[in-house]
Structure 1
């Protein structure tokens, strides 16, 4: 097995799924990679007394690897790790599709399960990317609406989509919640949404909140002449979510949201198969997979899976210190929402975390295009002029950017933006 570098965009054989890994080993790299392939597929490939070798058809195969570093200490000094030579690798392993088919729990059990994280000689491992053949992609529905469908529903084509998380997250009764959402719609918000923690509390029951918030969105449409969308959180046990989908649809919600890391990715797919509304998948729980360097599952992987399983909108940890995610990683995750993926539509990425009108210019500069959702919480709902002023400040910030005027200069004649700069700057 000779070292072969990993191409960024490999040609994927139709019968295989390619998985990229970063790993560390205290053994010979070739031996470790052979063991990793074996543990993720056949493990034992011949039975006593039989003339057979199951590896040809069912065995995972390392198709490329490169050494990326060496140290006399392990990345993580687990009690069971010994030795004074630790080699870091990048590897690409081809998995036969016949082993798991179009079933994500089974796929992950193979590529991210016992065989990967308990493999002899592997002291640390991170799954960094997935490369799908077209034959595999065709077995999935993907987003029903996707980025272009969301834009079409809102009739917003030339700027980011403005999204607000109604604040306070929890504690408002259904009337206060809908009144708050309504004010933000009047100010120019496109989408007002439930927080990911807001479920069905007594003070703001699921049914009453949706009914009143949907009416608020329709009223705001009549007054502003612009389309508005209310997004309801339906996260629950999988069997309960189907009833919540039906209720949300009948009561007039425009979108639904699933916390896919906690319902399980199959929960998201189940909703996609039964829901006629756009679906947002929230990033809560993502840090459990991708926060620790060189360990777990990269955000690119989980983002691609959510898109594959039907998320029209994918919430992501965004820019800035609070979200503890590098700019490079945010951009990679966003690209996983938008890049070409065969028959699977692009999703709308929403990188979020403590944004407000004043962060929009730098965020737009980093992203370099308008195909994203700009989400704010306190930046809208804690504005001195209330949610209407907060939402208006986002639109005024975008007007300034479009006209290549500094926010400070534009704020001289646009009071909502001026008050935002004074309050949050």
Structure 2
């Protein structure tokens, strides 16, 4: 089986060589630990992480580490992350370490990917090659269902292709899904009858892991035409469990709230790139990747690379619509 290759930036503490630091990462994430142990049998070493070439990068270094596919439990995303992005971030002799990207071979991708992808979403909306225009209902929380639906109508009749809930609006008493969703869909049907256009509404079904499939099924029964999941706070398998259910034939809009706690630091944490790969593998049809303008911190080259990760041919998996968001407005386009 092919290896999983993880790419890291790291900066050793003073007095620590880059070779030692890179090896420490490889050992910590596979068969090693902080000291010699008597139980490390020779036959175990086929699972060792292997350090590739170390290259200078900024104030630190970049390195690729090969992890044997056999160390992964196929299909177990929490376990995948525990290998490529586990204890390494806390190693005391490394000042900073950031996971930049992961090359997942086909052998560790038993997932079906997006049901719709870019082409499928375009077919629903009725477009071919132009960018889709979306908006978020504001204020993000506080409106009652009737006023939420009224805002949705004004946005839809104004020409948007997508309307979405904000990340903090789920199923609160002041605007429950059971009231909000039918009213919004009623207004979108009104727009369709007036203009012939099909506008998508990404209703936020984010909730506990043992309840999200039930909430997805309920939203479908209420007439939803798109579902939204906050992937970082819900967990990556929230996407998988909804995407793989054959009865939920709806596109999934993936929000990334809380991502910046992990991705923003350019030296330490995890870049957005591995998250793009996971969302694509697991079945997200649209994913927020940020924008080169707006209110959020951004790096243009990194963002462009993230979008290519979603849209370029990869492992035979459907493409994902990148979503530019975060204070974006017509004056910033």
- Bin the TM-score by the shorter chain: over 0.9
State the Cα RMSD in Å.
Answer: 1.9
- Which segments of 5 or more consecutive residues in structure 1 lack a partner in the other structure? 1-13, 71-87, 361-425
Q: Which residue is 2:327 aligned to? A: 354
Task: Name the CA distance, whole Å, in 2 between partners of 1:159 and 1:151.
Answer: 9
| C-alpha displacement of 1:49 | 8.4
Q: Does 1:89 align with 2:78?
A: no
* Corresponding residue of 2:115: 144
Q: Gaps (5+ residues) in structure 2? A: none
Aligned mates of 2:181, 2:142 — CA distance in 1: 15
- How far the C-alpha of 1:35 sits from its partner, in A, is 2.1
Deviations 1:255-301 (A, max 9, x none): 01110100111222222222321001102111011111210000112
Q: Which residue of 2 aligns with 1:343?
A: 316
Match of 2:135, SS state, is strand
Aligned position for 2:222: 251
Matches within 5 A, 1:359-374: 359-360=332-333
The answer to whether the aligner puts 1:236 opposite 2:207 as a matched pair is yes
Compute the TM-score of the two structures, normalised by the length of structure 2.
0.92
CA drift of 1:321 comes to 5.2
SS at match of 1:203: coil
Equivalent residue for 2:28, pick from 29, 36, 39 = 39
Give the TM-score of the pair, scaled to structure 1. 0.73
What secondary structure sits across from 2:115 in the alignment? coil
Matched, 1:214 2:191: no
Contact 2:54 2:62 in 1 (8 A): yes
Match of 2:19 among 6, 30, 38: 30
Could you report, residue by residue, the CA deviation over 1:202-233 in whole angstroms, capped at 9, with x for unpaired residues? 22211111111112112211110122212100
Q: 1:119 and 1:202 mapped to 2: Cα distance?
A: 45
1:21 is matched with which residue? 8
**Alignment: residue pair count:** 327
Task: Return the alpha-carbon distance in structure 1 between the equivalents of residues 93 and 235 of structure 2.
Answer: 30
Shift of 1:181: 0.7
Is 1:61 the counterpart of 2:50 in the alignment? Answer: yes
Q: Is the 8 A contact 2:293 2:332 kept in 1?
A: no
Q: Check whether the contact 1:35–1:120 (CA below 8 A) recurs between aligned residues.
A: no
| C-alpha displacement of 1:185 | 1.4
Distance 1:98 1:64, change over 3 A: same
- Does the aligned pair in 2 maintain the 1:319–1:353 contact within 8 Å? no
Q: Distance in 1 between matches of 2:330 and 2:38?
A: 69
